Amino acid sequence: MTRARPYDREEALDAALTLFWRKGFHATSLKDLENALNMKPGSIYAAFNSKEALYLATLERYFERNRDALRQMAEASPSPLKALADHLRSFAGEDGAKPACRACMLIKALLNATEEDDAIATQARQYLDAMSEEIRAIFEKAKTLGEIPESADPMRLAQHYQADMTALRIETHRAPATPALKALAEDMAREVEGMRT
């Protein structure tokens, strides 16, 4: 009798993340998960406890990847404003056609959550708040370095930036890698760079 190949948690989470991002929590069936993860239902539940727990794990993975990408960009640039501008440009660049640059999974999770999905909605809100805080910290650094005026409100700037980023990702989802998208991302990026004193 052939023994089943032991599952790789990282591979399984990546496969589930892609599936949930594309179909959403409710539209993803157990059969979809079986096929995507190449696991039997009992193995899925043994590894992740429930469909909701698996979904929450993919939301965490998605958040951490996006947060880490922004942090790396900010740490690599001597200018916080340039890092934020280049982050916006990245959504319309060569990687823009990749699913990772399209509509935010956290926003999708929040909008699609029903009254029974309180844990999902709560976690999505917390991650969005955490991203706002990451962006606020970058604007705070820009303020410390004298890139933006002393009177600037980093939290307000972060909320505005996050709203622009969300809108840009929706446009990327709608029509990836188009000249119009690239122009829109450039306009947003120049607005950020235009804050420099």
Which CATH number does the domain housing residue 157 bear? 1.10.357.10
Express as a percent the part of the chain with pLDDT over 70.
92
190 to 3, 30, 56: CA distances (angstroms): 57, 45, 35
The larger pLDDT score, comparing residue 61 to residue 4, is at 61
**How far is 7 from 39, CA to CA, in rounded Å?**
8
pLDDT of residue 92: 86
Domain count, the chain: 1
pLDDT category at 91 given cuts 50, 70, 90 is confident
**How far is 79 from 148, CA to CA, in rounded Å?**
11
Going by C-alpha positions, the residue among 135, 114, 118, 6 that lies closest to residue 69 is 135
Indicate whether 26 belongs to any domain.
Answer: no
CB 128 within 8 A of CB 117: no
Cβ of 178: how many Cβ atoms within 10 Å? 15
Average the pLDDT over 140-147 and give the result. 97
Does the pLDDT value for residue 1 go beyond 50? no
Does the pLDDT value for residue 6 go beyond 90? no
pLDDT of residue 32: 96
Indicate whether 53 belongs to any domain.
Answer: no
E strand residue ranges, 121-180? none
Indicate whether 148 belongs to any domain.
Answer: yes
Q: What is the pTM of this model?
A: 0.89
Indicate whether 31 belongs to any domain.
Answer: no
Does an H or E element contain 64, and which? helix 51-76
pLDDT category at 49 given cuts 50, 70, 90 is very high
Does the pLDDT value for residue 182 go beyond 70? yes
Indicate whether 86 belongs to any domain.
Answer: yes
Secondary structure class of 55 (helix, strand, coil): helix
> Which residues are CB-neighbours of 149 under 8 A, at least 6 positions away?
143, 197
**How far is 81 from 138, CA to CA, in rounded Å?**
8
Q: Residue 79 belongs to what domain range?
A: 58-193
pLDDT of residue 175: 80
Indicate whether 41 belongs to any domain.
Answer: no
pLDDT of residue 2: 45
pLDDT category at 3 given cuts 50, 70, 90 is very low
Indicate whether 5 belongs to any domain.
Answer: no
Indicate whether 119 belongs to any domain.
Answer: yes
Cβ of 49: how many Cβ atoms within 10 Å? 12
